[in-house]
Amino acid sequence: GNINEQKPCPFSKLSKDNLSIQNTAKGTLLHHAVMTNNHELVRLLLVNHANADLIAEYKITRKGMSEIRMFTPFELAEFLASSNSCD
């Protein structure tokens, strides 16, 4: 498959009304692959030794309240998986 092909995101119910996640600094291709739920690209990057320890800054907005959080790609995946936004 084409690694640039967009995959359906299980977080597609995210909206400005319930949760917004915006990269503000130091996001890598691995972070982007996690955000877009592109499993093929995540796998390809990790097999080719992408640095999974790099930390990116994200602005998290919920119910009109914003906070800045720092995530490695794996921490970002855990955060997305644990959010209740897909209910």
- Res 64: pLDDT: 82
- Res 46: pLDDT: 92
Instruction: Find, among 49, 41, 52, the residue nearest to 75 by Cα.
Output: 52
Per-residue pLDDT tens, the chain, 87 aa: give them. Answer: 555 555 555 445 444 455 566 677 888 889 999 989 999 999 999 998 889 999 999 999 888 889 999 999 999 999 988 875 544
- Res 5: pLDDT: 56
- Res 67: pLDDT: 92
- Res 19: pLDDT: 56
Strands of 20-25's sheet in order across: 20-25, 56-62, 65-71
C-alpha span between 54 and 2 (Å, rounded) = 25
- Res 7: pLDDT: 52
